[in-house]
């Protein structure tokens, strides 16, 4: 028993090393989401630009939708924003924003200063929709199919490389599914 106790620290260090080594092979942008394959959570929130206009998950049905979680306090959102302006020109998808845990006036001014790529931005001041979506922070982007089902969650900034590898293949697949009536 004494010999086993002497080797216990070595065994623990080896076990910890195996766990840490496994973590090196993980992609931090591939965050698991229990919602992938499920319908968009129900919500009833105002838009960023109009506190009196309410929107719900029903407003996102019928098209292939990207919901981009952003905030003025997020430096990575500023980096990704010019690319989102280009994505908004893509007729294959509808781009909506989710202004997450932010100040309404600051968010409105940010979209004036940097150009507004969104059809509209949902104003989630308290973070309730973000919580329902499992948002860890901004930016995150969700792909929602024409039935309102979440098909992908991506954490991090979108740029050309990410768009081509992570989003284009799925969007093309969803277009085919929609054309086939699936």
- The pLDDT assigned to 6 comes to 74
**Mean of per-residue pLDDT scores for the chain:** 89
Give φ, ψ of 51 to 5 degrees: -65, -20
- How many alpha carbons lie under 13 Å from residue 53 in its C-beta half-sphere? 9
Tell me the pLDDT band of 154, cut-offs 50, 70 and 90. very high
Using 50, 70 and 90 to split pLDDT, how confident is the model at 29? very low
Residue 20 CB coordination number (10 Å):
9
Residue ranges of alpha helices (H) inside 69-167 are: 75-87, 104-114, 128-133, 160-162
Cβ distance 122 to 154 under 8 Å? no
């Amino acid at each position: 028993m004494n010999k086993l106790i002497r080797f216990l620290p070595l065994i623990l260090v080896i076990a910890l090393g195996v766990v840490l080594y496994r973590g090196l092979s993980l992609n931090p942008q591939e965050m698991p989401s229990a919602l992938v394959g499920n319908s968009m959570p129900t919500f009833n929130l105002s838009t960023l630009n109009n506190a009196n206009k309410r929107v719900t998950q029903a407003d996102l049905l019928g098209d292939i939708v990207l919901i981009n979680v952003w905030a003025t306090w997020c430096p990575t959102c500023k980096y990704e924003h010019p690319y989102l302006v280009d994505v908004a020109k893509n007729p294959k998808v509808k781009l909506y924003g989710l202004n997450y845990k932010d100040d309404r006036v600051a968010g409105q001014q940010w979209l004036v200063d940097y150009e507004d790529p969104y059809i509209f931005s949902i104003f989630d001041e308290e973070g309730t929709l973000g919580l329902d979506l499992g948002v860890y922070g901004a930016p995150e982007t969700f792909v929602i199919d024409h039935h309102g089902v979440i098909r992908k969650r991506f954490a991090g900034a979108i740029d050309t490389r990410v768009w081509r590898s992570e989003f284009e293949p799925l969007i093309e697949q969803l277009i085919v599914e929609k054309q086939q009536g699936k």
